[in-house]
Amino acid sequence: MAKRYYIETYGCQMNKAESSSLEVDLRARGWEPVDRADAADVVVVNTCSVRQTAEDRLWGRLGLLKSAKRRHPFRLVLMGCMAERLKGEIFLEAPQVDVLVGSFQKHHLVELLEGESRGANSAEGVEGTGQGGRVALTGEGEYRFSSLHSLNEFRVFVPVMHGCDNYCTYCIVPYVRGREVSRSPESILREIRGLVSPRRKVRDITLLGQNVNSYRYPSGAPTGRADRREGASGALPPHGSRERLPALGFPGLLRLLLGELPGETWLRFMTSHPKDMSDELIALLAEENALCRHVHLPVQHGSDRVLQAMGRGYTSGHYLRLVDKIRKIVPGVSLTTDILVGFPRESAEDHRWNLELMRAVEFADAFMYRYNPREGTRAFLLGDDVPDPVKQERLSEVIELQRSITRKRRRLRLGTVTTVLVEAVSRKNPEELLARTEWDDTVVFPGDPKTIGSFVRVCLEKIAGNTFRGRRVPG
């Protein structure tokens, strides 16, 4: 009988992409998905450590899974950033966890589960510490990119780089994901070609990286032979060539991929770091219709003092000039951001600068967080001296301001006609379709399900909450 799996994913798109690639591998080996933990043979929880709240939620979830396991035995696998961060502690404190997988050993997981389902003690090539049937795959190693990250969706995430070298003082990511590594252009090309093939017809691709615009495939990298089996695009040397490639930066990678996209496909990328937003990349955004004019450009804060303490590598002045430049060169571009309030020593004046920057830029939207100390980061040593009620009040102000800006910006778009990618029938009303704009807004409009997967033109007529309501127009 086919083995059944259930995957629960927390955290960012990178985690989603990695869960999805695990599904691809399990399905290829005949495993079947189920929609509840207590119907599965294997339950995988893919975790996040970016804030304490994310970890607290997970500890609560582990408690529930423990009781579920008593009713219906399953193998419980914990992977992702929290598994990497707390390794030993989780193994000790959560005996319900059977398999713990760190960031650099994920590629062994399927092999291990397959070995177990065949009744083998452990799979060949897997290094771990077995302990009463429990396995920890947590060694150091090189991060390995999967070759495929999606099943049947129109919108897919494709990781192109992994890890982060920025070490912003508040952030745990570099410690749990390791140093930046860029995926080989050949491997990315191969995945993209499969996605846009007539069989898959993916129409909206987001290139992912913790710091995607610092993508750099090293200079002089040998042309990986295994990667070249399918033949390469004209931009790369031919199969088996000893020729060495020059370093490939992010704009170069985009050009390579754009050359492979059929007529109507959107290409996006996230998350961009302001310090790596090169003129070449901005020019490309303006030139290439297939590149969505949406840049997620986290600023984090509007006070220079706080930005410096965060180790972001730019001032508010640099950021504002960058925004001006992008808006001038790429008309119609939409900018979104992340804002972090309550960083240690953040004063009332710092907070006013933060609000000031938000007013000056008028982001289309923002993710807004309150600072959470993460042990092991540099900011942890500064203490956490902004009292919780103050953090909460500042966060509420920031959220309120952004909401009013978002509403204002959305209202300005009413009456305009725009292209959308139709994704599905609306869950609330089967007569309506759900679609997305190049700026990542959701639009609902009456339409024919036959158009799912294609681009149509709609006039934006109303806004309800975060969703536009529209009407299809010819063209």
Residues that bind ligand SF4 in the complex, under the rule CB under 6 A: 164, 166-168, 171, 173-174, 210-211, 273
Least distance to ligand SAM, CB of residue 280, Å: 20
Choice between 48 and 112, CB closer to ligand SF4: 48
Task: Please identify the residue of the shown chain whose CB is closest to the bound ligand F3S.
Answer: 11
Binding partner of 174, given ligand F3S, ligand SF4, ligand SAM, none, CB within 5-8 angstroms per partner class: ligand SF4
**CB 49 → ligand F3S: shortest distance, Å?**
4
Six-digit token pair at 296? 């997620």
Check binding of 209 to ligand F3S (CB under 6 A).
no
- Cβ-based nearer residue to ligand SAM, 369 or 445: 369
3-state class (DSSP) for residue 400: helix
Are 425 and 433 in contact by the 8 Å Cβ rule? The answer is: yes
Helix (H), strand (E) at residue 274? none
- Which one among 42, 44, 158, 173 touches ligand F3S, defined by CB under 6 A? 173
To ligand SAM, the closest distance from the beta carbon of 269 in angstroms equals 12
Give the nearest distance from C-beta 233 to ligand SAM in angstroms.
29
Which is closer to ligand SAM, CB of 212 or CB of 248?
212
The piece of 48-56, 239-247, 341-349, 354-362 that touches ligand F3S (CB under 6 A) is 48-56
| Candidate residues 4, 8, 12, 115; the one interacting with ligand F3S per rule CB under 6 A | 12
C-alpha closest to that of 162 among 147, 180, 149:
180
- Contact between 447 and 422 (Cβ < 8 Å): yes
Write out the residues near ligand SAM by the rule CB under 6 A: 12, 50-51, 170-171, 173, 210-211, 271, 273, 298, 300, 338, 340, 369, 371-372, 374
Closer of 3 and 51 to ligand SF4 (Cβ) = 51
Partner touching 444 among ligand SAM, ligand SF4, ligand F3S, none, CB below 5 to 8 Å by kind: none
- CB under 5 to 8 A by kind: which of ligand SF4, ligand F3S, ligand SAM, none does 340 bind? ligand SAM
Question: What's the alpha-carbon Rg for the chain, to the nearest Å?
Answer: 23
Handedness of CA 392, 397, 400, 401 (dihedral sign): negative
Residues forming a β-bridge with 335: 295
Within 10 angstroms of residue 136's Cβ, the number of other Cβ atoms is: 22
Element (H, E) at 367: strand 365-370
Pairing relationship of beta strands 155-159 and 99-101 according to DSSP bridges: unpaired
DSSP letters for 343-374: -TT--HHHHHHHHHHHHHH--SEEEEEE----
End-to-end Cα distance, the chain? 50
Q: Are 332 and 409 in contact (CB under 8 A)?
A: no
Tell me the sheet residues that pair with 88: none
Q: How far is the CB of 81 from ligand F3S (least distance, A)?
A: 3
Please state the closest distance from residue 50 (CB atom) to ligand F3S, in A: 4
Interatomic CA distance for residues 337 and 93, integer angstroms:
37
In single-letter form, the type of residue at position 295 comes to: V
Q: Which residues pair with 420 in a beta bridge?
A: 437, 456
Selection from ligand SF4, ligand F3S, ligand SAM, none that 167 binds (CB < 5 to 8 A by kind) is: ligand SF4
Minimum distance, C-beta of residue 105 to ligand SF4, in the bound complex (Å): 21
Q: Counting contacts by CB under 6 A, is residue 45 touching ligand F3S?
A: no
Judge whether 148 and 22 are in contact, CB under 8 Å. no
Reading the block at residue 68, the tokens are 């579920």
CB distance 470 to 426 below 8 Å: no
Rule CB under 6 A: say whether 270 interacts with ligand F3S. no
**In this structure, how many other beta carbons lie within 10 angstroms of the beta carbon of residue 19?**
21
Q: Quick check: 97 and 132 in contact, CB under 8 A?
A: no
For 81-193, strand residue ranges (E) read 99-101, 135-137, 155-159, 161-162, 181-182
Tokens of 62: 């582990």
Query: What is the x/- site pattern for ligand F3S, positions 64-93, by CB under 6 A?
Result: ----------------xx------------
Stretch of residues binding ligand F3S (CB under 6 A), selected from 47-55, 312-320, 405-413, 449-457: 47-55
Hey, what are 5's tokens?
């799996």
Q: Note whether 372 binds ligand F3S by CB under 6 A.
A: no
* Residue 81, contacted partner among ligand SF4, ligand SAM, ligand F3S, none, CB below 5-8 A by kind: ligand F3S
List 3, 4, 15, 126, residue binding ligand F3S (CB under 6 A): 15
The answer to the question of residue 192 lying near ligand F3S (CB under 6 A) is: no
Residues that bind ligand F3S (CB under 6 A): 11-12, 14-15, 48-50, 80-81, 172-173, 176-177
